[in-house]
Amino acid sequence: MIKRRFIAIALLIGAFIIGYFVYSTEISGSHKFKLGLDLNGGTELVYKADLSKVNQVDISASMNTLRDVIERRVNTFGVSEATVRLERVGLTGSASEERLVVELPGVTDTDKAIQMIGETPVLEFKLLSKTATTTGNLNISASSTDFLDTGLTGRFLQHSELTFDNNTGAAMVSMQFNNEGSTLFAKITKENVGRVLAIFLDGDVKSKPTIKEEINGGKAVISGNFNGSAGLKEAKALVSNLNLGALPVPINLISTQTIGASLGADAVNKALFAGIWAFIIIALFLIIWYRLPGLLAVIALLAYIAINLAIYKLLPVTLTSAGIAGFILSIGMAVDANILIFERLKEELKRGREVEDAVKEGFHRAWTSIRDSNTSSIITAIILFMFSSTSVVKGFALVFLIGVITSAFTAITLSRSFLLAIKHDNAGKVLKFLLGGKFKGEKIAENK
């Protein structure tokens, strides 16, 4: 009994520490909740990626690079808690549509938000066709079909810097490719000596150097178009844009959404109001209907809420209105587990078992139902999270999944430990009544 009470007290202290962590970090701001745009206010930009020139096998890599590039650019402007993520809309394969979603909390000026993303350059290296090379037609337009794609694009770019020609002092832009890009660049230059390898930026030709020999090491140089002070300024701007990120694929803005800070604050207040009232009503129901076990379940429920909120802070989980709905729904799941346990406990008391045996048997008999119910909920949450294409559903699924797992822990571990810590020896009618029994009535013999 002493050991059981020690465990129960330790669990209570642990729950209190977790709850204090949630409260203190929210006050100090060290681990504040990460709120979505619908709760915090801000701007959401949705871009559609043009993958018409990307091989099917390269789509995933291109989109991941695109996300990283835009993320670096947004972070450069110091937007707090900005989120850049990918979404696939529609069926898989050629029928799907790849999108880039940029969430900028606190930014409610749409034009400013679009400016933050900017017109980052699309960098491409294209070979002049052999026919055009033979005829000497080197001044053809950028849209000419005489330029052939090489597969070498900005997604292979590692960094860019401003350099100067040792002989003329003219400004040049040096680019270093990553390992994959270096290998591809070496192959292109080796197989096409004597041909023109044009450098395109956003569809405009920036340079048309002739390949003189195989170039290893993955270093390319743009030169010849940066003369005088204006040319130097242009070269610096180009280096800046390239380092912020040359996009591997073009993107088009297809939708914007702006939520004011006041609307976000109102959504938070309403969510808190709903959550508090949901807890109060549930607590009253448990205490009135199940008496002492209900009171202990309310204490376990408080611990459950503290554990969940701490997890949301530490992961961190971006909380949206849908996510809060998932959290409140998971509270219902936690209550459901306790109800199953308490009903089994009442049945065992009616069968005439002693209190301690009734508690143990009640938990034992309820466990199968709790396990199966939680397992089905976990499977549903995982499927929603893995196959959903929208952040709203994913956020709901993640919060609900965490809640279901935590509810199983609190129902089986906390509630059970609290009940077993109660003195059961020579339990009188009052204790049996508080545990869900009746003052009067004969014991019902247990069916064999």
**406-433 pLDDT, tens per residue?**
988 887 788 888 887 876 555 556 566 6
Q: Judge whether 196 and 281 are in contact, CB under 8 Å.
A: no
Tokens of 163: 């350099």
The predicted structure's pLDDT at residue 142: 45
The predicted structure's pLDDT at residue 198: 86
Q: Judge whether 290 and 236 are in contact, CB under 8 Å.
A: no
The pair phi, psi for residue 160, each rounded to 5°, is -135, 150
CA-closest candidate to residue 403, choices 350, 348, 329, 318: 329
CA distance 63 to 74: 16
Which residue has 């003369």 as its token pair? 227
Q: What are the structural domains, with CATH classification, of the chain?
A: 2-37+260-434 (1.20.1640.10), 42-258 (3.30.1360.200)
Per cent of the chain over pLDDT 90 is 15
Which burial class, exposed, middle or buried, applies to 412 when counting CB atoms under 10 A from its CB (0-12, 13-18, 19+)? Answer: buried
373 vs 136, more confident:
373
Residue 94 has pLDDT above 80, yes or no: no
CB neighbour burial string for 107-135, b if at least 16 within 10 angstroms, e if fewer: bbeeeebeebbeebbbbbbbbbbeebbee
* Average pLDDT value over all residues in the chain: 81
Tokens of 394: 């994913």
* Alpha-helical segments (H) within 54-150: 59-76, 110-117, 130-135
The predicted structure's pLDDT at residue 417: 85
CA-closest candidate to residue 336, choices 290, 396, 267: 290
Cα–Cα distances in angstroms (integers) from residue 265 to residues 260, 272, 276, 277, in the given order: 9, 11, 17, 18
CA distance 33 to 318: 8
The predicted structure's pLDDT at residue 130: 76
The predicted structure's pLDDT at residue 446: 43
CA-closest candidate to residue 238, choices 247, 246, 227: 246
pLDDT band at 448 (very low <50, low <70, confident <90, very high): very low
The predicted structure's pLDDT at residue 89: 78
Residue 70 has pLDDT above 60, yes or no: yes
Q: Are strands 34-35 and 318-319 parallel, antiparallel or unpaired?
A: parallel
CA distance 70 to 117: 7
pLDDT 10s digits, 133-189: 655 555 545 455 678 889 888 878 888 889 988 888 888 888 889 898 999 999 999
CA distance 391 to 86: 10
pLDDT band at 250 (very low <50, low <70, confident <90, very high): confident
